[in-house]
Amino acid sequence: MTLHITPIPLFSDNYAWLLRDGATGTTAVIDPADPGPIEAAVMAAGGRLDLIFLTHHHDDHVAGTDAIREKFGAKVFGAAADARRLPKLDRALKQGDSVAVGASEGTVLETPGHTIGHISFYFPGDPPALFCADTLFSLGCGKLLEGTPADMFGSLRKFAGLPDGTLVYCGHEYTASNARFALTVEPDNAALRERAAEVTRQRAAGQSTVPTTMAQEKAANPFMRAGSAEELGRIRAAKDRF
Ligand code: ZN
Ligand code: FE
C-alpha cells in the first residue's frame, strides 16, 4: 500500500506533511500551523482532508488546526497527555495506538523531551516513514523545553529501534546549523562530514534536507549516537550555548 507524502513548507523553516493513501484517497495532514499554505496543498491534492495529526502543543505546529478542521471537516488527533493544551481533540492518542490513513496503518510513539506530551507517528510501509516533528531533527534533536535528558534519550532509543531505511520527516529545516554544531562534537566522523557536505550542496541549490534516513541519523547525528542520558544532556547543553 502506498502512502504519498508531500512537504508543506510553513513560516521560515517549519514543515507540515500531507499524507494521502493511494488505495482509498484518504488524506491527512501533520501539524497544520498556517492555514493558507495548508489549504492550498489540500486543494492541489484533490480538496479532501480527513484527518489532522498533531505532534505537540507549540503554536508553530498547531496554530491553524481549528481553521483547517472547519474548512475541510477533518477529525483532529493528538496526545492524550497534552489534551488540555492542544486544540480540541476528536481522538486522544497514547503510546502504541493505531492510526489509519485509509489502508495505511500507523502507530503512535510517545516521544517526550522537547515537550512532555510530544508524540510521533510511524508508518511501517515501504519505505517506512517516521513523523517526529521536534523530537529528532537531521543531525540534531529538539530543545529540552519541558522534558529531561533521560526523556529525550528514551525517545531517541525508540527511534533507533526502527528500520535503518525509515524515512525521517522532521518538523524543521534546521540541518545546516545542526551540521555546524555536530562537527564540533565529532569532527572526525566520516559519515557526518559526508552528510554535512551534502547538506551544504542541498541548501546552496535551494533544496530541502528532509526527509533523512534512520541509518544516516544513527551514523551522523551526535544525539542519536549518545550512549547515555548524561551524555545526551551534555551535548544538548553545549548546543544550547553554541
Ligand atoms: Zn516545538
Ligand atoms: Fe517547532
Segment 155-171, tens digit of pLDDT: 999 999 999 999 999 99
Bridge-based pairing of strands 14-21 and 3-10 is antiparallel
Is the separation of the CB atoms in 155 and 115 below 8 Å?
no
pLDDT at 216: 98
- Whether residue 60 lies in the annotated active site: yes
Q: What angle do CA 184, 189, 190 make, to 5 degrees?
A: 130
Domain housing 150: 3-241
Is the separation of the CB atoms in 87 and 65 below 8 Å?
yes
pLDDT at 43: 98
Residues of the chain predicted below pLDDT 70: 1
pLDDT at 1: 59
Model-level pTM?
A: 0.98
Question: How many CA atoms does the CB half-sphere of 128 hold within 13 Å?
Answer: 17
Q: Which ligand is the nearest neighbour of the Cα of 58?
A: 1
H or E, element range at 74: none
Give the dihedral of Cα atoms 31, 35, 41, 45; nearest 10 deg: 90
Ligand 2 centroid, distance to 23 Cα (angstroms) = 31
Q: How far is it, in rounded angstroms, from Cα 242 to Cα 238? A: 6
CATH number at residue 110: 3.60.15.10
- Whether residue 134 lies in the annotated active site: yes
Q: How far is it, in rounded angstroms, from Cα 211 to Cα 200? A: 15
Work out how many domains the chain is built from and give that number. Answer: 1
- Whether residue 118 lies in the annotated active site: no
